[in-house]
Amino acid sequence: MRLRGEAVNWLIGVFAVFVFRSLFLTLRVRFHTADNTNPYAIEGDDRFIYCVWHDQLLIPIFGGKHRHTAALVSQNQDGGFVAAGLRSAGILPIRGSSSRGGAQAMRQLIRESEGKHIVMTPDGPRGPRRELSPGVIFLASHTGRAIVPTAFTCERSWRFGVGWTDLLVPKPFSKVHLLTGEPIHISQDADLRSEVTRVAAAMLAMNNYGDAWATLPQSSTPDAALTPS
């Protein structure tokens, strides 16, 4: 039964990757990244923790070619085909969550992500939507890796409800914007609550900036006042 379940998950994951890769071939992808924080870049020795909201996860998965990326994936049933899909997309999935096997998964993530960027969805496996949990802060403080806030927007899209959140799906032939901010360093003795507030504010600023890019005319750029510091 387990082998059958793994086979079904693999088929679902591979099919989903095929569908979304076909969709992304029609899109015009634009990058707006801070220095050395493009997650798809070949060059560069730094490895970061990329903070991505659950509802925007589709765009970074298929927005470029992953060469050194690992991601924490839920241990629940849905996580099975998500892990299979990530693997097909070139991302190393590490199974675990903050509610089931979280500590073990965190240790495994640290061990297996050597030489790779780590992608985490900081609003947790059960929400609330776009509310930052302390797990990403804990990981950054224990690994010495900086957190990179991100935002992913598009000019035309659908929104599909998925459990407690929704999923942003670009419409064919639309323009997509991928944004990364300046790395945020977390010390081991940092105050957890204040750092959660700081990173959450950076994520909000990045998303406001991304929304500005998505709504502006093609020849324009967002006002400097909207640029996240």
Report pTM.
0.88
pLDDT at position 208, please? 94
- Average pLDDT on 138-147 reads 91
For residue 228, what pLDDT is reported? 53
**In this predicted structure, which of 83-87, 99-103, 156-160, 182-186 has the lowest mean pLDDT?**
99-103
Q: How many Å apart are CA 80 and CA 53, to the nearest integer?
A: 20
| Res 221: pLDDT | 63
Higher pLDDT, 11 or 178: 178
Residue of 2 and 196 predicted with greater confidence: 196
- Altogether, the residues listed in the chain come to a count of 229
pLDDT band at 174; cut points 50, 70, 90: very high
pLDDT tens by residue, 67-80: 899 988 776 655 56
| Amino acid at position 102, single letter | G
Strand 117-120 relative to strand 147-154: parallel, antiparallel, unpaired?
unpaired
For the cut 90, the answer to whether the pLDDT of residue 165 exceeds it is no
Residue 89, phi then psi, degrees to nearest 5? -90, 0
Give pLDDT, residue 156. 94
CA dist 192 and 188 (Å) reads: 10
**DSSP bridge pairs for 167:** 160
Strands, E assignment, the chain: 28-33, 49-51, 69-73, 92-95, 117-120, 147-154, 157-162, 165-170, 175-180
β-bridge mates for residue 179, sequence order? 32, 151
Q: What is the pLDDT of residue 38?
A: 93
